Amino acid sequence: MFPASSLPSRSRPHQKIAYVRAVSQGDYEMEFYSVAINHDVSGEEDCGEDASVRVLTPIKAPNVPLHSGFNAGDNKLYCMGGDPPYRAGRFYEPPHLSVVSVTITHAPRSFYFLLLSPKFISLPLSLSESRSLSLSTMDPNTSEITHHFPPFFQIHKDGRVERFMVSPFVPPTLDPQTGVQSKDVLISPETGVTARIYLPKTNGPDPIKKLPLVVHYHGGGFCVGSALGPATTLFLTRLVSGANVVAVSIDYRLAPEHPLPVAFDDSWSALQWISTHCNGTGPESWLNQYADFGRVFLTGESAGATIAHNMAVRVGTATGLEGLRVRGAALVHPYFANDKPDTMMRYMYPGSSGTDSDPMMSPKADSDLGKMSCEKVLVFVAEHDLFGLRPIGVEYCETLRNSGWKGDVELVENQGEDHVFHLVNPTCENALLLFHKLGLFFNDA
């Protein structure tokens, strides 16, 4: 534990600065901030109800997403000292850690998108609503860690999974700006797998002119993320409105509690459920009335792109989806394995080698690649992908072209951008270009 005196001071007297990791006990994302703590918390059991924490500057680390703010309830601030918790563009664990327990009795308003605007990145920020905090120091090693996979999750000795990034639930709604409606549906009572359906603003069902159907799989390394979270909700609301499509986002079960290939199996079950609507008698009226099952597209980002690829191949080799025609797959920054063993992947996927010899994680190892069902594939790669996935995406396109598959593949590089940048900053110019490209892809069939 570092002494409070080691934290560099700023202009305000008696104010200590620390870089912290905020982890709520509820469903909230991990975030990093530069935070001012107005009390010396080192060695004190309780700093009192009037202790205050103020967000100064959100850290724009290349591999740390900025999402919602502090929320009501019990939270932990993992104080990491005077240096940002990243080095050379990668997350790292500092040698010293001080843990401050924080109870926030009044939730501030969300400033999710405010922080994403570039003009605010370098400015001091404070939350708009007051709150009461109770601060106390804690021992960070109260529970032994058996497996540690930053920045995704760690496993405690008692088997508990602690995620560093947990997506907050955003309820389905009618978006007042775009007119896009959304609803949640239960796909499988046995597994609990759900999906969120998005419907663009319409004048009612038109049996002659139905809309393309986009099936979306969220990213998150198969272990974090959600189809029901804010990033996915905003992305698909914008996409559905701009492209005038119906979308279904699958909330598959996550590893490591549900080891791979569960995510793939859930995603396939979701496609089977969707196909029950092809004759207009499925359980979900929006799909029966508005979706064109002759124009189905699969898409996803990162690990979700990996799922979308696998589903496209499986549709081409399996039966049972009569009436459903997959016309294309759009893969945004796909997450495929390389020749280096991936320890986290081997932990999440016990039957896998964790390398590019696994056909589900590496298309070049899949003998069925040439049987992919769709007619066209659109692949996005990020020039500065923090996970080093750019060359893997480029290689995927070449592998697909040489597989015997008869379709067309297009590669688009997002210049100057990082991994899934369009979710982090959905209003930037390159994100808008990505949305536009996807819209054209889904409607050119």
Say which of 249, 385, 418, 422 is annotated catalytic.
385
Say which of 24, 249, 302, 373 is annotated catalytic.
302
β-strand 376-382 against 408-414: which pairing, if any? Answer: parallel
Residue at 37: amino acid letter: I
Give the CATH fold of the 181-443 domain.
Rossmann fold (3.40.50)
CA dist., res. 426 & res. 100, Å (int) = 33
- Tokens at 421, concatenated: 């940048």
Each of the 445 residues of the chain gets a pLDDT tens digit; together they read 222 222 232 223 222 333 333 333 332 233 333 333 333 333 333 333 333 333 333 333 333 333 333 343 443 443 333 343 333 333 333 333 333 333 333 333 222 222 223 333 332 323 222 223 333 333 344 458 899 988 888 999 889 898 877 788 899 999 999 999 999 999 999 999 999 999 999 989 898 899 999 999 999 999 999 999 999 999 999 999 999 999 999 999 999 999 999 999 999 999 999 999 999 999 999 999 999 999 999 999 999 999 999 999 999 999 889 899 999 999 999 999 988 888 999 999 998 887 888 999 999 999 999 999 999 999 999 999 988 999 999 999 999 999 999 999 999 999 999 999 999 889 999 999 999 999 999 998 6
Q: Is 419 a catalytic residue?
A: yes
This prediction's pTM: 0.72
CA dist., res. 97 & res. 189, Å (int) = 43
- In the chain, where are the structural domains located? 181-443
β-strand 291-301 against 326-332: which pairing, if any? Answer: parallel
Across 88-231, the runs of DSSP E, i.e. the strands, are 90-91, 98-104, 133-138, 145-149, 153-156, 161-163, 181-186, 194-199, 211-217
Q: Is 52 a catalytic residue?
A: no
Reference 14, options 39, 35, 34; nearest CA is 39
Q: Is 98 a catalytic residue?
A: no
Say which of 39, 67, 419, 422 is annotated catalytic.
419
